Amino acid sequence: MSPAPPPRTHWPAVLAAALAGVAIAMSVGKVPLALPTLRAELGLSLVQAGWVSSMLTTLAVVTALGFGLAAGRIGALRMVLGGLGVSALASLAALAVPALSANAGFQLLMATRFFEGAGFMAVSVAGPALISAATAPADRRFALGVWSSYMPAGAGLAMALSPLLLPSNGWRGLWLAAAAVLALAAAAAWQQRAWYAPAAGSSHAAPAGPALAVLRQPLPWLLALTFGAWALQHFALIVWLPTFLKEQRGLSAGWVALLTCVMLLVNVPGNLIGGALVQRGVPRGRLIATAHLLTGLCGLGLFNETLPDGQRYGLCVALSFIGGVIPAAVMSSSALLARNPRQIGALQGLIMQGSQLGQFIGTPLIAAVVAASGQWASARWVTAGAAVLGLMLGLAAWAAERRLAPQPADG
């Protein structure tokens, strides 16, 4: 039986859960700009650097759904606090890497990235259950839309701190800052623990069947795949823009970080607008399909080398902003589909798996296309293809959403 929803939304608890997401997303955002410093100091090869960067994505592709099921059994609050704690300790443990030999140092760095990845997965799949537990049904869709901004907000925060900390403190200063934010987020979540009681896990090893039942309908799978199609487009932009600004336009590291950070952070108001539109009753599928259509057009323009640089950067910002409605529409589906906290975990695990699969596939696909053509402009066909796929999946999700019988809001 589902716990009774709270009579009103406790926004401090919602913000504390969102802070946990922002803190854990710093584990993703702290690596890209610090990677050259890590390579120079630790003597990492290109392959080793690639593994340091992709460990979280690889782990997520393999284990996201499993973490989602574990969140329902263990309890969302314990999963979030455990994930924050493990990630903070792993970030601190990485500080010992320079004192070791090259091989041992790389092994320790990879081990810390593995545990950071586990913490990232724990918080990512369990955080929405905390949001749901602290919100009244009328506010739940918007609150989950707020949660959807955790990734760009956290990654953007890490990138914003990079030019301030890297020159004077190196990558260790950035890792310390990430650990401090993780500890702060854990303290904030613990302080609000009374509001997360409905998301407590089972006291016994309940079977996974009831949690997986929510995945027996097509809508969750369609939504997860639309998220993957968006993640591929956004990740292509995140990979391309710093390279373009530094290698082709010769901008300083500070300007590269600033412009990349702005592009990433504009995704946050897109998330909030998406949450507000879902709250107002705009169908998720229609919202997703429209966003994919517009981001696809933006992608075709920003890779067009005949356009002025200002227009191309404006299209980068527009793509990130418009696409922000997609995570909000997808992640808020828990309010429509899940009947209890365990199903929220299963849904979020599937959604996270779809998102990370888009990034996982996008990396080699973009590299192969660009290598074959010898120019970055060819990446537009990858992003355009992902946008067309997202558009078709969004329309299918819209149709599936219309077929759903009205169901009462739950806790």
**Predicted confidence (pLDDT) at residue 10 exceeds the cutoff of 90:** yes
Which SS3 state, helix, strand or coil, does residue 408 take?
A: coil
Please choose, from the candidates 143, 157, 57, 41, the residue with its C-alpha nearest in 3D space to the C-alpha of residue 94.
41
DSSP string, 223-279: HHHHHHHHHHHHHHHHHHHHHIIIIIT---HHHHHHHHHHHHHTHHHHHHHHHHHHH
Highest mean pLDDT among 52-56, 117-121, 201-205, 250-254: 117-121
What kind and span of H or E run contains 33?
helix 11-42
Contact 190, 130 (CB under 8 A): no
Q: Enter the DSSP assignment of 282.
A: -
Which SS3 state, helix, strand or coil, does residue 200 take?
A: strand
The Cα–Cα gap between 103 and 42 comes to 9
Q: List pLDDT tens digits, range 31-42.
A: 888 888 888 888
Within 43-101, residue ranges assigned H as helices are 46-74, 76-93
Which SS3 state, helix, strand or coil, does residue 75 take?
A: strand
Give the pair of three-digit tokens for residue 14. Answer: 């919602």
Q: How many residues are listed for the chain in this entry? A: 411
Phi, psi (rounded to 5 degrees) for 138: -65, -25
Please choose, from the candidates 5, 1, 2, the residue with its C-alpha nearest in 3D space to the C-alpha of residue 195.
5
Q: List pLDDT tens digits, range 213-239.
A: 888 889 999 999 999 999 999 988 887
Nearest 5°: the CA angle 274, 31, 87 is 80
Query: Other C-beta atoms within 10 Å of 85: how many?
Result: 15
Instruction: Give the pLDDT of residue 62.
Output: 87
Confidence of residue 46 (pLDDT cuts 50, 70, 90): confident
Instruction: Give the pLDDT of residue 4.
Output: 61
Confidence of residue 408 (pLDDT cuts 50, 70, 90): very low
The Cα–Cα gap between 223 and 292 comes to 13
CA distances from 178 to 71, 172, 173, 175 (A): 24, 10, 9, 5
Phi, psi (rounded to 5 degrees) for 200: -65, 150
Q: List pLDDT tens digits, range 347-364.
A: 989 999 999 899 888 877
First to last CA, the chain: 10
DSSP string, 125-155: HHHHHHHHHTS-GGGHHHHHHHHTTHHHHHH
**Predicted confidence (pLDDT) at residue 66 exceeds the cutoff of 70:** yes
Average pLDDT across the chain, whole number = 88
CATH number for the domain whose boundaries are 11-403: 1.20.1250.20
Give the pair of three-digit tokens for residue 57. Answer: 């994505």
The Cα–Cα gap between 368 and 398 comes to 33
- Tracing tokens 């506010």 back to the chain, one arrives at 139
**Domain locations in the chain?**
11-403
The Cα–Cα gap between 366 and 287 comes to 26
